[in-house]
Amino acid sequence: MMMDQSSDISGFQKAYDTTRPALPGGGWLQELRHIAMTRFMSLGLPGRKLESWRYADLKALRKTPFQPVTKAPEADIAAIEKAAIAGLDAPRLVFVNGRFSRPLSRLHTLPADLAPKSLRDVLMLGGGSIRDLVMDLRDGDAFDQLNTAMMSEGVVIEVPEGMQVKTPIEIVYLVTDADNGAAHLRNVIRLGQGASLTVVESFAGDDSRFFTNQITQTTLADGADLTLLRRQHEGSGTVHVSRTYATLGKARFQMASIASGSTSTRHELRADVTTEGGHVGYEGIQLARAGQVLDTLTFMDHAVPSCTSTQTYRAVLAGQSKAAFQGKVLVRRDAQHTDARQKADSLLLDRAAEASTKPELEIYADDVQCAHGATVGELDADQVFYLMARGLAPNEARALLVEAFVAELCGNIANEPVRDAFLADARNWLTSANAAMDAPKEGDQ
């Protein structure tokens, strides 16, 4: 069995071997990459038997030997604009098939002392704090190892102490004409004391068979405020695995994400709150269509007293699709006065859809407030009838109700063009999901 499993992923070893000469970084990093790859091969891809991976669908990763794209990043600016957020006047970093494109980006609008660096450049130099961050994942799981072994592109943003960045930084990842390609991305975002920043990521792409493997490491010093907004709408051939790490002091970390992309998506948010008074907020919207598996896992690690975390998850499932949410909250013995809340609601538009929500609360402190709730339901027939009786067609009634369900989450996003983009994402998704639902089924007249 072990043999089978490693042979399943032998494509990754080959990809590593051929890519290695082109990977940035020498010395310690080369060595680390080698160890990471060896570990990945012996760990293998996580299987369904692992509780934290039981809902994910990694089939495609075993079948296709995804090869990091070496071809120069080229794309139509129109495709970038379409993927990006309409009306957002912000500096923009563009990655095509996982490769950074300077000409397609617009960096000139950035304040000089904020200038994001390319991960490739930072790794080439190899020194300083990047080493500690990379080392942090030394003992991580298979995807940490794989990412460490193969990472070559990404952004490094360091916001100096006290700097409040008003305009968001936008990152666009486009997949185009890249069958069997892979992107192993690593982003590093660090906020100094009292600094604040908003980063908006948009993922989009055509139907290339592709593997996106992204890790974002964020650290927030006391008083820092980071908002990470994420739109994941990659094409139907993509497997998307991404995780966001947050390590924060007495700071605020906020994440909102909307995902409708990829045939299979796994996103993780893992947050460590290490100083009293820290706060983590997560709002996740998953929109799943026939054939898709959207899997979300969060892990809030409360190690010190008086920190808060709030998580709100909403999924809408059309057709024969799956969406899963596993939300783990760990309250360690010293973390008195923790306030940790979690709510997960799923809406099934089709009987064949499958929603799974699994809250996991592990609490070792006695004076804490922890709450969780989960619901799975269908559209309310009375509500649909009420809307139809007023003139809305069934698909319009569904659209209005689903939009309302989703809008309750992304309605809180402060930046207007970003908020509008989230809502437009939901509407667009629904239009196509509706079209699929209204299409005559076999056997119908």
Partner 1 sequence: MSTLLDIKNLHVAIKGEEILKGLDLTIASGEVHAIMGPNGAGKSTLASTLAGREDYEVTEGSVLYQGADLLELAAHERAAKGVFLGFQYPTEIPGVSNLNFLRSALNAQRHQRGEPPLDGGAFMKLAREKAGQLGMSIDMLKRFVNVGFSGGEKKRNEMVQMTVLDPTIAILDETDSGLDIDALKVVADGINTMRGADKAILLITHYQRLLDYVKPDHVHVLADGRIVRSGGPELALELEEKGYQSVA
C-beta closer to partner 1: residue 210 or 405:
405
Closest-CA residue to 266 (of 228, 238, 301)? 238
381 binds partner 1 (CB under 8 A): yes
CB 386 within 8 A of CB 353: no
CB 327 within 8 A of CB 358: yes
C-beta closer to partner 1: residue 322 or 419:
419
Residues 235, 239, 245: CA angle, nearest 5 degrees: 110
DSSP lists the bridge partners of residue 248 as: 220, 273
Q: Which stretch binds partner 1 (CB under 8 A): 240-248, 315-323, 359-367, 383-391?
A: 383-391
351 binds partner 1 (CB under 8 A): no
In the list 166, 351, 390, 441, the residue contacting partner 1 (rule: CB under 8 A) is: 390
Q: Is the dihedral of CA 372, 376, 379, 380 positive or negative?
A: negative
Q: How many CB atoms lie within 10 A of CB 291?
A: 13
Number of residues that bind partner 1 (CB under 8 A): 23
C-beta closer to partner 1: residue 29 or 410:
410
In the list 21, 127, 391, 440, the residue contacting partner 1 (rule: CB under 8 A) is: 391
| Eight-state DSSP code of residue 417 | H
CB 262 within 8 A of CB 232: yes
Q: Is the dihedral of CA 125, 127, 132, 133 positive or negative?
A: negative
CB 173 within 8 A of CB 204: yes
DSSP lists the bridge partners of residue 173 as: 95, 203
Q: Please give the Cα distance from 353 to 320 (Å, whole number).
A: 5
Q: Which of residues 146-175 bind partner 1 (CB under 8 A)?
A: none
- Minimum distance, C-beta of residue 349 to partner 1, in the bound complex (Å): 16
C-beta closer to partner 1: residue 118 or 383:
383
- Minimum distance, C-beta of residue 379 to partner 1, in the bound complex (Å): 11
In the list 114, 290, 400, 423, the residue contacting partner 1 (rule: CB under 8 A) is: 400
Task: Give the tokens for residue 232.
Answer: 């994941």
49 binds partner 1 (CB under 8 A): no
C-beta closer to partner 1: residue 79 or 407:
407
C-beta closer to partner 1: residue 47 or 394:
394
C-beta closer to partner 1: residue 404 or 414:
404
- Minimum distance, C-beta of residue 381 to partner 1, in the bound complex (Å): 7
| Eight-state DSSP code of residue 378 | E
What are the C-alpha distances in Å from 297 to residues 18, 142, 282?
32, 16, 11
C-beta closer to partner 1: residue 108 or 390:
390
In the list 386, 432, 435, 436, the residue contacting partner 1 (rule: CB under 8 A) is: 386
In the list 47, 385, 414, 431, the residue contacting partner 1 (rule: CB under 8 A) is: 385
Say what angle helices 394-410 and 381-389 make with each other, to 10 degrees: 120
Which residues, in sequence order, are CB contacts of 259 under 8 Å at separation 6+? 230, 231, 232, 233, 265, 267, 284, 285, 286, 287, 294
In the list 71, 394, 436, 438, the residue contacting partner 1 (rule: CB under 8 A) is: 394
- Minimum distance, C-beta of residue 445 to partner 1, in the bound complex (Å): 14
C-beta closer to partner 1: residue 337 or 427:
427
Q: How many CB atoms lie within 10 A of CB 20?
A: 14
- Minimum distance, C-beta of residue 134 to partner 1, in the bound complex (Å): 43
C-beta closer to partner 1: residue 12 or 405:
405
- Minimum distance, C-beta of residue 400 to partner 1, in the bound complex (Å): 6
Q: Please give the Cα distance from 8 to 47 (Å, whole number).
A: 12
392 binds partner 1 (CB under 8 A): yes
DSSP lists the bridge partners of residue 356 as: 324
Task: Give the tokens for residue 89.
Answer: 């006047």
C-beta closer to partner 1: residue 364 or 385:
385
Q: Which stretch binds partner 1 (CB under 8 A): 128-136, 267-275, 319-327, 399-407?
A: 399-407
Q: Which of residues 401-420 bind partner 1 (CB under 8 A)?
A: 401, 403-405, 407-408
197 binds partner 1 (CB under 8 A): no
In the list 76, 207, 378, 396, the residue contacting partner 1 (rule: CB under 8 A) is: 396
Helices within 313-415 (DSSP H only) = 381-389, 394-410
Residues that bind partner 1 (CB under 8 A): 380-383, 385-394, 396-397, 400-401, 403-405, 407-408
